[in-house]
């Protein structure tokens, strides 16, 4: 096992016109469990293939501790790699498939048998050991591929590229905890590629978030949730993701439209910023005065153990939209989870407001989601006043975090001083 260090490593598939992986310096520390998380096409597989030697980077050098490996082929790197789809010898038995990587490296027969049976036991393959692999369903075949990747001892790292994609959802939970146990038992470095935040957060000691070929933040799951360093991390982690609103810093005060929402902390020149607040840290009252933003409830998703209240705030556009138009909201039932929402409300694919302007029948504002305990009394059309929990709202410029919003000193209505009628859900609090 070794620390795997990428030094200025980048890759272009088109002779340098675009970078699938922008040159980066990064160390995978020996023995840690990493999740590499990002949307489709952000460069995760490219990064994995560079580590394993399947791909030679366009630029940069790779080190395993103090040994340079840039020109060393895959076979010389002692890396185990598991792909998204089964890679095995279909005509061989499950036993022989699991034994193959060991026999290939001349492990003694007794050791081969011991390790095959150990891995088979952990992955629930004992009853299938004598079966030909092609007789298994694709999910089970993938578990055999996983076993082939995990069977060796002393590998430099185990790289898993979305290994549970073809596995039955019911099995996924079990396998995920099995993988965690295997990581604990073997102490190998694991790099687990996924675009699924639940998979990443439940598996990893450290989550590395990639966007457009670069690492935008790496940290423990809680750190990424509580302290996103990039707007993308706020959107991608959390369910729903972070709300983002345009705001302004002036004389150290952060305002959304004309409403002051807090004090800017950070070395921030005045000017436009974007403010990010997770649904868990926004607090909804029926009325209030600054610090906070006035708006109108446009929908309620009743999720069972909590509710999501959608609020159209109009900090940039004067009074709340319904008042301006002399309208109150109309309720539309969307069924299933007991949601109520007004027609036309864009939930942005299940994510919280991402800075987009939400239009409703000619009214324009910004959509926010507030997570509350189950059974909120808010209904579409109600007036809603949203305050931001102190030190849990963040400021961004060019999508990168540049500050935090603190309570306005001594101001009436500071978030933590209030007893809101509809409290923020406790689930996401620090
Ligand atoms: N062999 C290739 N030739 C040309 N372009 C490629 C090749 N492989 C990947 N790319 C491009 O490089 C970028 C990164 O791809 P990569 O497969 O590394 O992303 P990913 O995050 O693993 O995506 P996914 O989750 O869909 O597998 C994408 O724009 C992709 O289209």
Residue 365: C-alpha distances to residues 119, 245, 286, 298 (Å): 56, 10, 18, 11
41 lines ligand 1 (CB under 6 A): yes
* 160 C-alpha to ligand 1 centroid (Å): 16
pLDDT of residue 419: 33
In the predicted structure, residue 233 carries a pLDDT above the cut 90: yes
365 lines ligand 1 (CB under 6 A): no
Which pLDDT tens digit goes with each residue over 39-85?
Answer: 999 999 999 999 999 999 999 999 999 999 999 999 899 899 999 88
Which pLDDT tens digit goes with each residue over 321-380?
Answer: 444 343 333 333 333 333 444 333 333 333 444 444 444 444 467 899 999 999 999 999
In the predicted structure, residue 102 carries a pLDDT above the cut 90: yes
Q: What percent of the chain has pLDDT over 70?
A: 83
* 67 C-alpha to ligand 1 centroid (Å): 28
Please state the rounded mean pLDDT for residues 404-416: 63
**Could you tell me the pLDDT band of residue 409, with boundaries at 50, 70 and 90?**
low
Which pLDDT tens digit goes with each residue over 256-276?
Answer: 988 999 999 987 899 999 999
pLDDT of residue 202: 87
pLDDT of residue 175: 86
In the predicted structure, residue 289 carries a pLDDT above the cut 90: no
In the predicted structure, residue 132 carries a pLDDT above the cut 90: yes
Which pLDDT tens digit goes with each residue over 167-217?
Answer: 888 888 888 888 898 899 888 999 999 988 888 988 899 999 999 999 999
Report pTM.
0.82
Among 15, 41, 216, name the best residue to mutate to test ligand 1's pocket (greatest count of ligand atoms within 8 A of Cβ).
Answer: 41
40 lines ligand 1 (CB under 6 A): yes
The overall average pLDDT reported for the chain is: 84
- Which of 267, 240, 236 lies closest to 252 in space, CA to CA? 267
Tokens of 100: 């193959």
Going through 195-323 in order, the beta strands assigned E by DSSP cover 206-211, 214-219, 243-250, 253-256, 259-265, 271-277, 282-285, 293-302, 306-313
**Could you tell me the pLDDT band of residue 411, with boundaries at 50, 70 and 90?**
very low
Distance CA 6, CA 16 (A): 19
**145, 86 in Cβ contact below 8 A?**
yes
Q: How many CA atoms lie within 13 A of 252 on its CB side?
A: 7
Q: In terms of pLDDT, which residue wins out, 181 or 26?
A: 26
Helix or strand run (H / E) with residue 251: none
Which atom, in ligand 1's list, is nearest to the CA of 84? Answer: 27
**254, 264 in Cβ contact below 8 A?**
yes
């Amino acid at each position: 096992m070794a620390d795997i260090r990428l030094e200025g490593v980048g890759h272009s598939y088109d002779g340098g016109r675009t970078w699938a992986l922008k040159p980066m310096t990064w160390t995978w520390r020996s023995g840690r469990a990493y999740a590499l998380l990002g949307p489709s096409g952000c460069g995760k597989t490219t990064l994995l293939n560079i580590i394993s030697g399947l791909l030679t980077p366009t630029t940069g050098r790779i080190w395993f501790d103090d040994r340079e490996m840039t020109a060393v082929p895959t076979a010389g790197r002692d890396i185990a790699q598991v792909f998204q789809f089964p890679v095995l010898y279909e005509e061989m038995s499950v036993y022989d498939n699991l034994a193959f990587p060991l026999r290939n490296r001349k492990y003694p027969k007794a050791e081969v048998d011991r390790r095959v049976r150990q891995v088979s036991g952990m992955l629930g393959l004992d009853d299938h050991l004598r079966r030909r692999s092609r007789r298994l369903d694709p999910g089970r075949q993938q578990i055999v591929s996983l076993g082939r990747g995990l069977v060796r001892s002393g590998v430099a790292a185990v790289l898993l590229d979305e290994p549970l994609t073809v596995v039955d959802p019911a099995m996924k939970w079990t396998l995920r905890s099995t993988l965690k146990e295997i990581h604990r038992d073997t102490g190998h470095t694991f790099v687990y590629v996924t675009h699924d935040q639940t998979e990443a957060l439940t598996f990893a000691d450290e989550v590395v978030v990639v966007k457009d070929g670069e690492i935008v933040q790496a940290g423990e799951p809680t750190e990424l949730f509580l302290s996103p360093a990039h707007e993308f991390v706020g959107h991608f982690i959390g369910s729903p993701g972070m709300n983002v609103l345009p705001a302004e810093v002036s004389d150290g005060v952060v305002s959304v439209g004309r409403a002051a929402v807090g004090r800017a902390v950070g070395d921030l020149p005045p000017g436009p910023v974007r403010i990010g607040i997770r649904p868990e840290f926004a607090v909804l009252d029926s009325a209030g005065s600054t610090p906070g933003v006035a708006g109108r409830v446009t929908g309620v998703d009743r999720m069972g153990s909590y509710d999501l209240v959608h609020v159209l705030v109009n900090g940039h556009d004067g009074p709340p939209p319904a008042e301006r138009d002399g309208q109150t909201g109309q309720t539309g039932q969307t069924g299933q989870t007991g949601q109520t929402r007004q027609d036309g409300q864009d939930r942005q694919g299940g994510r919280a407001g991402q800075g987009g302007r939400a239009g409703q029948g000619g009214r324009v504002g910004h959509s926010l989601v507030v997570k509350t305990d189950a059974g909120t009394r808010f209904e579409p059309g109600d007036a809603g006043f949203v305050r931001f929990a102190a030190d849990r709202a963040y400021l961004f410029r060019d999508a990168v975090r540049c500050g935090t919003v603190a309570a306005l000193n001594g101001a009436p209505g500071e978030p933590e001083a209030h007893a809101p009628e509809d409290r923020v859900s406790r689930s996401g609090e620090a």
